[in-house]
Structures are given as C-alpha cells and as structure tokens.
Amino acid sequence: MSSKFNPLLNSQTLIQVEGLGKQYQIYDSPRERMKALLLGSGPQRHHWALKDVSFSLAKGQCLGLIGDNGAGKSTLLKLLTGTLQPSTGRIERTGRLTAILELGAGFHPDFTGRQNLYFGGSLIGLSAEEMKRLEPEIIEFSELEASIDRPVKTYSSGMIVRLAFALVTAVEPAILIIDEALAVGDQHFQKKCIERIDQFREAGCTIIFCSHSLYHVRHLCDVSLWLSGGQVQAFGPTEHVLASYETHVRQQDAKGDSAAAANGGAVAPRADRSRDQAGLVSVEVDGLNADTPPLMAGPDLVVRVKARVPGGSRPSFGVMLEQNHGVGITSLATHAEGVEAVPLGDEQWGITLRFPDLPLHSGEYKVSAYLFDTQGLVTLDEWLNALVFKWVAPNLTPGLVRLPHHWE
C-alpha cells in the first residue's frame, strides 16, 4: 500500500509528514560517549530508528499506530510531539496538540496533586485562570478528591496516571496523541479514559493512538499505520492494515508455537488476579475425550466460558477459534452481536457458543477467550490458546473449511 495514501483528500489536513527519518548515534558505553564528546569525534555506530516515513492525517481522523517492539512507534510519536528532532524530512501540523505520553513524568514529587495541576497545566499551555476554572472538573474526573492535597510522591502509579490523564484531556485538543500509558490505570479508569477518547473522536478531534491492543485499534481508528523496522509497511483503512499485520503476527507466532505446543499451547491464567478483579474462570469445549490433544466428539462445537465480575455489571465475552499452527478462523463477541451473558450467581457470568455441524476439515484447533466490560471497550482478561482440541471431519476433503455453497 502506498505510504502517500490519503483517504480524505478534500478534508482539512492537520498533520503532514514527509520523508521523516531519525538516526540515533550509538556508543558502546557512557564512557565511550563521554570520550567522543571530549575528543569531538563521531559516534561508534549509527542506527536508523525511522526512515522515510510519509503520511497525512485529516481533521477528525483517528490513526492507529501499530508495529512490533522496536519498530519505531515511540520515536515517531516523540518526533510528532517535538520531544525529538528529526534527522531527515519534515512535519507540518496545525492546531493544539496534546500528548498522553509518559503520563505524569512532568509532575514534581514534592508538590501536592493540586499544585502539580497548575505546574503541569502551565507546561501544556493552560493559564492559571483557565486552570482555576477547570480544576474542579479535573479533580472529579481523576477521583482523587481525598488525596489531592497530598504530595505526589505519596501517590501510586495508578493515581499519577489518573491525575495526568484528567489534566491533559481537560481541554479538547485539535490533535490528541495516546500511547500505551493507559495500560497502567485500573480497569474502571481505563474504561473512563476510553469513553473520553471516544467523545473526543465523535467531536471531530484528530487522534493518533499507538497500541499493541489490536482490539482497541480496530474499535477506535479509521486509518492505521504499520511500522516495521522504522519504515512504513502499510498505511490505509484500519481493516486492510490490520489484516496484513495479523497475518504477519500469526506467522511470527507459528514460529514460536512449537515450544508452546508441548503443553497444549495454553497460556496460563494470570496468577496475580485478586478476588476483587474481574477475570475468566473457565473455558470448556463439550465432548472432549482423554487423548492429548483431546478429540472432539462433534458434530457441534460447543464452547462454554465462565467469568467472575465483582460489582454486578454484565460483562461481554469474546471467543476466537484458530488452527493450532496456522490461520485464524473466526472471532466472535457478545457485545458485537447484541447477545447478553447469563448471570450464574456468586458474581459469575457465562456464555455458551455453539457452531452447529462444525464445518471445519480435520485438524487441530485452538480456542482463546476474552472478557470485556459491558460495551466491549476494555479487555478485562484474556486466555490465549486456552484449549487445543483435535477434530476429525466426517468427510475427508482437503482445505480448511466447508463453506456454505451450492453447485450451479
């Protein structure tokens, strides 16, 4: 896909990036760096973290920024916010830009939460008068009324994120940049953040959202940019870009799968989940025998998932079915299909998903399960490769799936 793709040519362009590159200088040790500075010599090596990146973003668009670790995402965001200077290329942008990067990093530990609002606010261009007007709303959103006059050094990391998010999103910017910082907050606060981001998006704010959560990229972003080795691998409508990226991720996973396959490929449920946190409880498939992996009796594939959700709100569930060492087959979620999970008592909820007369050909398959909040905005828990099973189709034919069809 061309990196010059612009799906909204006639709209107002807010960000235009052309031929952007960033080269880091690499020294083997801080001592070598010092030596080079003293002697005025060059660095030992160079590394291009970003190379020839071009794209444009129109008003109201939400861009998902994706890529493997080390692909150059943070470097691109730092260039966009002006924290780093580019080695090549240029960035043009109009309007107020707010970045939720390294949330709270600018706070002073000895100042109280309230003092830090004024301090941090001045850093993002809010006058003391504006801050006075916004202060009650910011404190209310952060839910830190009780501790706002304590020094920030006594805050937990989650409390700092709350204060910082409430501050930087108090005024709607023209461009909002968000990275994984949100993952630090608790589930309840993550949900509030995503709802606020959603409101900005609906109000026409331009957003750049950098995340490893493809679920949220899909939910929030209309266009996506996939960086690989510092270069644009794909840029365009989110569904197109994610389809290519997911194929790439599966190929990577398949390489690492052989080791996991020894224990059935299951990723263990998180042991650190406490009683008061929402979490999956069980994932089962009906009619499995005692083989390894177990053989499914069929003809229907019936998946049963249970979860515990303290607090009484109805969760949403997702189920993904994949070939054990290959491609994905289907992902389904209750909120997307207007289906409601069933209350089972003792704060437990369950769903049963049936694929009648399983139309898959013989092979090994794996099931992953996801637990979301009611609207499907926040992922509360996920059990990847929760279960692997074998299926022998009644009619042996090559291929992956028996599609509904007729001969003409």
Ligand X SMILES: Nc1ncnc2c1ncn2[C@@H]1O[C@H](COP(=O)(O)OP(=O)(O)OP(=O)(O)O)[C@@H](O)[C@H]1O
- Start-to-end CA span in the chain (Å): 37
Residue selected from 72, 185, 293, 376 as contacting ligand X according to rule CB under 6 A:
72
Residue 85 interacts with ligand X (CB under 6 A)?
no
Q: How far is the CB of 233 from ligand X (least distance, A)?
A: 12
Residue from the set 7, 11, 24, 390 that interacts with ligand X by CB under 6 A: 24
Q: Report if residue 26 touches ligand X, rule: CB under 6 A.
A: yes
Q: Which residue's structure tokens are 């509030």? A: 192
Report how far residue 356's alpha carbon sits from residue 351's, in angstroms, rounded to the nearest whole number.
Answer: 16
70 binds ligand X (CB under 6 A): yes
Strand-pair partners of 232 = 227
The dihedral over CA atoms of 170, 176, 179, 181, expressed in degrees to the nearest 10, equals -10
- What is the three-class DSSP state of 202? helix
Of 49 and 97, CB closest to ligand X: 49
111 binds ligand X (CB under 6 A): no
What is the rounded distance in angstroms from the CA atom of residue 204 to the CA atom of residue 207?
Answer: 9
Question: What is the DSSP secondary-structure string of 225-281?
Answer: EEEETTEEEEEEEHHHHHHHHHHHHHHHHHHHHHHHHTTTTPPPPPTT--TTS-EEE
Q: Does 47 bind ligand X (CB under 6 A)?
A: yes
Tell me if residue 20 falls in helix, strand or coil. strand
Residue with Cβ nearer ligand X (132 or 212): 212
In the complex, least distance from residue 162 CB atom to ligand X, rounded to whole angstroms: 23
Which window, 68-76, 98-106, 214-222, 293-301, contacts ligand X (CB under 6 A)? 68-76
Stretch that binds ligand X, among 29-37, 71-79, 105-113, 377-385 (CB under 6 A): 71-79
Asked if 1 contacts 230 with a C-beta cutoff of 8 angstroms, the reply is no
Q: Which is nearer to ligand X, 51 or 335 (CB)?
A: 51
- Min dist CB 399 to ligand X, Å, is 36
Indicate which single residue of 51, 73, 162, 335 sits in contact with ligand X (rule: CB under 6 A): 73
Q: Which of 6, 13, 74, 211 is in the footprint of ligand X by CB under 6 A?
A: 74
* Least distance in angstroms from the C-beta of 17 to ligand X: 15
- Residue 75 makes contact with ligand X by CB under 6 A: yes
Specify the stretch interacting with ligand X by CB under 6 A; choose among 64-72, 85-93, 120-128, 182-190. 64-72
71 lies in the binding site for ligand X (CB under 6 A): yes
CA 214/CA 96 separation, integer angstroms: 27
Cis peptide before 293 (omega within 30 of 0): yes
User: Residue 179 Cβ, how far from ligand X at the closest point, in Å?
Assistant: 8
Q: Of 26 and 400, which CB lies nearer to ligand X in the complex structure?
A: 26
| Sheet-wide strand order for 363-372 | 328-333, 316-323, 363-372, 379-391
In this chain, which of 14, 15, 20, 49 binds ligand X, going by CB under 6 A?
49
Is residue 69 close enough to count as binding ligand X by CB under 6 A?
A: yes
Instruction: Count the alpha carbons within 13 Å of 221 in the hemisphere toward its beta carbon.
Output: 31
Total binding residues for ligand X by CB under 6 A?
Answer: 12
Q: Is the dihedral of CA 98, 99, 104, 108 positive or negative?
A: negative
Beta strands 62-66; 206-210: pairing state: parallel
Which among 66-74, 96-104, 314-322, 371-379 is the span making contact with ligand X, rule CB under 6 A? Answer: 66-74
- Positions touching ligand X (CB under 6 A) are 24, 26, 47, 49, 67, 69-75
